[in-house]
Structure 1
Amino acid sequence: MAHLDYYFTVLSPYAYLAGNRLEEIVARHGVSVTYKPLDIMALFPRTGGAAPKDRHPSRLAYRAQELPRQAKKAGMELNFKPAHWPTNQAPASYAIIAAQKAGGGDLGGLVQSILRAVWVEDKDIAEDAVVQECLTAAGFDPSLTFSGMLTGAEIYAANLEDAVNAGVFGAPFYVLDDGAMFWGQDRLEDLDLHLSGKL
């Protein structure tokens, strides 16, 4: 069975715009997935990038056009200026890691719920109550926000190192065990074609 490491941040509008397409693709091809949330603000300076607030105005102007276009293309709602962005990404990331370890729920649905909380619902995913609501909706024990903190913190830090070592420089980033890499939700079609042996 092929395996895919999915590197992302719970703050990424592009990870949000991926929707459930990754889950549909891997289900179709029988690919296993490890979800690897990471601190994107720590990744950028280590891989030649910059946080949005530090980017050149021309890049920010393009982003302001591109995000609404991509949302429209995907048929998804998007609040381009969410009330709680950026926010502390660690609590939601730890919860995803703990849920992955615990099993028994819809992990892809949990990730999408957390991203939707940021980019559509104007909720602060740094708050335990918001993350617990997402956990419950995806079929996980909401107490994972507390019980999984230590393990979550360790794996969260390790995910950053894994990302740097794997050549990841942005999010969402998809890395297959055959070495193929795809950056961005707009490359999911290419991932699908690659798994089909067509690309």
Structure 2
Amino acid sequence: MDLTEKQLDSRVVYNGGFIEVLKDKVQLPDGSRSTREYITHPGAVAMLALLDNGKLVLERQYRYPLRREFIELPAGKIDAGEDILVTAQRELLEETGYIAREWTHLTTAWPCIGYSDERMEYFIARGLTHHGSRLDEGEFLEVFELAPDEALEWVRSGKITDSKTILGLFWLDKVLNGDWRAPE
């Protein structure tokens, strides 16, 4: 069964520079027509930065849309034409002040498939050395260390609720426990 929806028309409803909102007319697999509204996003990276002491580098950051603070993995937007590893290295340094000697790409995930084309690229970063953070203008966050097992407990207890962080922590747990091999 072919489930493909064919785009008949598309228009930009909003262009904010960082994201665009589009409204498309589509033909459904049964021949009927409908509309689809969605956000285009440049994509992002998330880093599971492991210190030599076995702890993770995490962040506490205020997120305006939900008007509260979240505990998150270091992460950031992919700039146009930028290699995802370069993005990960840049964002880790900017947000946490760390440079990693070893990088492993874990997976690609799409966090909002119902309304966005955003993709999230996950990396494990090891061999960290601190060089001082370089936060973007208007960016405020607290960087701290937490053991992976404790981070998973924070997921269970509801202290960590950010989906990119939860997914990354579950992947890391499988890799560290030897259940899954990190891609080579």
TM-score normalised by the chain length of structure 1:
0.27
Structure scoring higher RCO (CA < 8 A, sep ≥ 6) equals: 1
Q: Which has the larger radius of gyration?
A: 2
Structure having the higher helix fraction is 1
TM-score normalised by the chain length of structure 2:
0.29
